[in-house]
Structures are given as structure tokens and as C-alpha cells.
Structure 1
Amino acid sequence: MNPAVPTWAGVAASLALVLLAVLVAWRQRLHLARDIAIAAVRAGVQLAAVGAILVFVFRHTGLAGGVGWLALMVLIAGRVSAHRAFGMPRALPIATTAAAVGTAATLGTLLLFGVIDSQARVVIPVGGMVVSGAMQATTLVLVRLRDEARTARPAIEARLALGLPAADAFAPHLRSTLRTALIPAIDSTKTVGLISLPGAMTGLILAGVDPLTAIRYQIVVMYMLLAAAALAALTAARLAERALFDDAHRLRPLPAADPDEARR
């Protein structure tokens, strides 16, 4: 047994940390104790189930199984982003397409040039990081563009009234949104290794891989995540821009608030 990997008894013992978080939330009357407990239980159950499925995928499927798993990840990522961007026209197909483009382009390039192995045990975890990064960028773009279309409607419609096409009238808001959406990926890339050791590098080091070898893998991962975020953000922005305007270059009406805001 690898001493760097916790046993199931160690996993159970780590529940004490969750209990500590629940206690803090309860004592401070944050009304989050139940949510913390549910989140911890869900995480354990979900990860255990995913681990069992991955054992089967790794042993009995090849690249096709890995691609199928990634496709499922992309679909889930699209739904998560679309839920956050409630009110954005065609949010689900836009979010799913953006995540798929960011994932397929970056991961496909690495596989094409043989940078990473095509085995499912490599494609799935690496691809999962890509999908996650693409999802975050997509969510930021859709939420920000929805909010910009709501709050800046008078300015946008004024430009349209002056004869500007929809793309030009919305361009300042699109550029601002793309800059904002890419800031997390850029900052993570600039500070990697200085603030924290990223997941891929940490996992390889814990597995006994030489740190310099782990660093090479992490560099590839960081470049991959940056590219995936940029491609997903750009795809989401362009598709959202088309969805926000009709064929006559009129800005579509949007709901005043999402369901969560309305309940509050």
C-alpha cells in the first residue's frame, strides 16, 4: 500500500474536519450547518460511485470509453452553466457548445501531437480538468453578458438607434466580459507554484514521481487550461451575442431576475 494514500479509516477520520465546520456554522448561526453536512455526504457518495465506474472504464474500455465519459462531463457542465445564466436566451445549447469546443480543441491537440497518452486513465482526469476550466469561463461569460444586457440596455439601444449594427452596439460589453472571464485563468497561470502546488503536480508527487517530471506535466496542464478557458469564453460570447439580438438587430427582452433572486 502506498503510504502517501489515505486508508478508508483515514478517510473516515477526516470526517472530524467536516464536523468542525458544521460546529462553527452552527455556533455562529450561519444557517449553513445542514448544507455543509449534505455537501460532505454528497461528495463522498458521488466520488465513491465515480471511482467504482472508473475502475470498470479503465479496465474494459479504451479511448472510446474516455471520450464517452468526457462527453457526459460536457453535458453536465453545460447544464450547470445554463442554470447560472438563467434568463440568457438559448443558454443550454450555448453553454454546452462552448464547453465542448474548449475541451475538444485543447485535448484533441494534445492527443494529436502525442503530448498525453490516449489511455482512458489519462484522458479522463486530464479532460476533466479541461471541462471544469471551460465551464467556469463559460459561466462567467454568460452571467456577465446577461447582466450587461439588462443594466446597459439604454446605452445599447441608443447605439442601435444611431444605426450601429448589433455587433458594434454590443462590442464594448463583449470585450469587457471576455477580459473579466479570462482573469481567473490568467492569474492562476501567472501564480502557479508560488501560491499553491496545483492538483496534477501534487498528485504525481504523492504518487512518487520525480518533481521535475511532475512540473513538466503541470506546465502542459496549465497551458491547456488557459487555452480551454479562452476558447470556451470566446465561443460562449459570440453565440450569446447572436442569441441576445433578433434578426432585426433588436435586443431581446430578458427576465428581471433569476428564480433564486426572485425568492429572496
Structure 2
Amino acid sequence: MKQLSVNNLSLVFAFALVLVAVVISQREKLTLTKDIFYSIARAVVQLVIVGYLLKYIFRVNNVVLTGLMSFFIVLNAAWNAYKRDPNPHKRYWDSLLAILVSTYVTMGVLVLARAIKFVPAQIIPISGMIASNSMVAIGLCYRNMNQQFHDQRQQVLEKLALGADNKLAALPILRASIKTAMQPTIDSAKTVGLVSLPGMMSGLIFAGVDPVYAIKYQIMVTFMLMSTTSLGSIIAGYAAYKNYFNEHDQLIEL
């Protein structure tokens, strides 16, 4: 199979598509032009740096470097999830614990099952895939939880006044937030193969891998993402709801 190539001219044409978004932003007064250019510039710089770094790590194939790179991905994902929490009383440790456990439990099972090997070419990309999905789910959990505590403040106060502890008072909010966090992954699993052709499966097929083998890998990825989003959102949710109460189980003003 002929290898796909991306030259500088193709990148220029692809960048022209970004300008479409900029034009729409300007015409509709969405005030997103600055964010679009900033995000594009940041993505290019980050990808160039990471690309050269991965090239070195892949060549060295060192267990310690592989582990450190994977852990750096987790730390960064946790920081981004933490920043997405609107609660002023948030804690970074909640996000780190959720992403750390969800990423390494899921990946540990894959390594023990010999679905993947502990080599940089497999561990680092899969760490990024798992941690990023967990990060998105946790961010959704945080934002929904904050909105629910704002909207249902009176109901929570009434439950506390009737003698409920903070967990019982917040339980409907907690369940709704975890459900919201998991819903995009569930919806994606429902439509995979029918609406969307996932990147990993398509990439393997482009590389000349047997489609049946590529499909097996994609099924594994689907199971993997379902696991990490559920673990991450549950751990983050059960840790984060406590940040809305003080040490006396009183609801904090937002």
C-alpha cells in the first residue's frame, strides 16, 4: 500500500480550513478569533516539541523514560481537568487521583493481558488516549456538579436541615454529574463504525494492517475508554462533591 504523505502545501491548504472558522467567528461576532489562533499556534508548538521528544524516546526504548513520559501525560491531564472545575474550593489532588487510577488500572489490565507491550511506541500513545478521555469526562462531571449545586442549593439545604449527611444530600447531584460525564463515551460506543470511523482503526488500515486485526484493536479501545471514563468520573465525582461542604457538613456559598 502506498504510504500517505503530508507536505507543506497540504498543510497550507488545511490551514485555510481554519480560516473558515475565523471568518464565521467574525461574521457572527462570536469573539473566538483570538482563541482559535492561540489554540492553533499552541497545538503546532506542542506537537513539534512532543514529536521530536517521542522520536528520541522511541529510539532509546528505555523503561524509565517511557514511565516518566506516561506519568507526565497523567499530570498534565489532571491539571487541565482541575482547571475546568468552576468550584473555587477545588483540589488538584482529586483530579490527579481520578486520572492516575483510571489510566493505570486500565492500562495495567491491557499490559497483563498482553494486549499491549511496555514499549514507548505503545505505552505513550495509549496513555495519552486514556488520560485525555478521562480528563474530558472529569471536566464534564465538574461543570455539571457545579451547576447542579447552584440550581439545587435550596433542596440540598433542606435535606441537611432534616438531618441528612452531606453525601445523602448531594447524592442526586453526584449521580447526575457522573451520568453526564459518561454519556459522551456511551453515545460514541453506540455509533462507532456506523457514524464514525475511529482514528486508531482507520490509521491501522491505512498502514496496511488486516482490517479484522484493526477492528479487534478498536474494540479493545472502546472497552478501554468505557473503563477509564467510568472510573475517572466516579472517583472524581465522589471526591469533588465534598468540596462543596465545610468541615461541619454545611453547604459552602458559591
Same-fold call, TM cutoff 0.5: yes
Query: Does the Cα contact within 8 Å between 1:88 and 1:146 map onto a contact in 2?
Result: no
Alignment of 1:1-264 (within 5 A): 3-254=3-254
| Separation (CA, whole Å) in 1 of partners of 2:20 and 2:90 | 42
Query: Does the Cα contact within 8 Å between 1:111 and 1:117 map onto a contact in 2?
Result: yes
Any idea what SS the aligned residue of 2:250 has? coil
| Separation (CA, whole Å) in 1 of partners of 2:20 and 2:165 | 56
| Separation (CA, whole Å) in 2 of partners of 1:161 and 1:38 | 48
Any idea what SS the aligned residue of 2:115 has? coil
Choose 66-75 or 18-27, whichever is displaced more. Answer: 18-27
| Separation (CA, whole Å) in 1 of partners of 2:119 and 2:95 | 27
| Separation (CA, whole Å) in 1 of partners of 2:228 and 2:45 | 29
Query: Does the Cα contact within 8 Å between 1:95 and 1:139 map onto a contact in 2?
Result: no
Choose 174-183 or 242-251, whichever is displaced more. Answer: 242-251
Alpha-carbon shift at residue 2 of structure 1 (Å)? 5.3
Choose 125-134 or 26-35, whichever is displaced more. Answer: 26-35
TM-score, length-normalised on structure 1? 0.89
Cα distance, 1:222–1:151 mapped onto 2, change above 3 Å: same
TM-score, length-normalised on structure 2? 0.92
| Separation (CA, whole Å) in 2 of partners of 1:237 and 1:175 | 8
CA offset digits 1:10-44 (Å, max 9, x no partner): 32442232334334444555443343333323222
Any idea what SS the aligned residue of 1:135 has? helix
Query: Does the Cα contact within 8 Å between 2:86 and 2:142 map onto a contact in 1?
Result: no
CA offset digits 1:37-76 (Å, max 9, x no partner): 3332322222111101100111114333222112111221
Cα distance, 1:250–1:35 mapped onto 2, change above 3 Å: closer
Alignment RMSD: 2.0
Cα distance, 1:222–1:150 mapped onto 2, change above 3 Å: same
| Separation (CA, whole Å) in 1 of partners of 2:146 and 2:7 | 46
Alpha-carbon shift at residue 120 of structure 1 (Å)? 0.6
Query: Does the Cα contact within 8 Å between 2:3 and 2:207 map onto a contact in 1?
Result: no
| Separation (CA, whole Å) in 2 of partners of 1:32 and 1:234 | 33
Query: Does the Cα contact within 8 Å between 1:66 and 1:123 map onto a contact in 2?
Result: yes
Query: Does the Cα contact within 8 Å between 1:185 and 1:226 map onto a contact in 2?
Result: yes
Cα distance, 1:111–1:244 mapped onto 2, change above 3 Å: same
| Separation (CA, whole Å) in 2 of partners of 1:215 and 1:207 | 14
Choose 138-147 or 38-47, whichever is displaced more. Answer: 38-47
| Separation (CA, whole Å) in 1 of partners of 2:229 and 2:235 | 10
| Separation (CA, whole Å) in 2 of partners of 1:161 and 1:87 | 23
State the identity as a percent: 35
Task: Structure 2 unaligned segments of length 5 or more: list them.
Answer: none
Cα distance, 1:11–1:237 mapped onto 2, change above 3 Å: same
| Separation (CA, whole Å) in 2 of partners of 1:26 and 1:164 | 51
Query: Does the Cα contact within 8 Å between 1:88 and 1:244 map onto a contact in 2?
Result: no
| Separation (CA, whole Å) in 2 of partners of 1:241 and 1:20 | 41
CA offset digits 1:61-107 (Å, max 9, x no partner): 43332221121112211221222213252332211211111101101
Cα distance, 1:26–1:161 mapped onto 2, change above 3 Å: closer
Cα distance, 1:23–1:237 mapped onto 2, change above 3 Å: closer
| Separation (CA, whole Å) in 1 of partners of 2:75 and 2:119 | 22
Alpha-carbon shift at residue 217 of structure 1 (Å)? 0.5
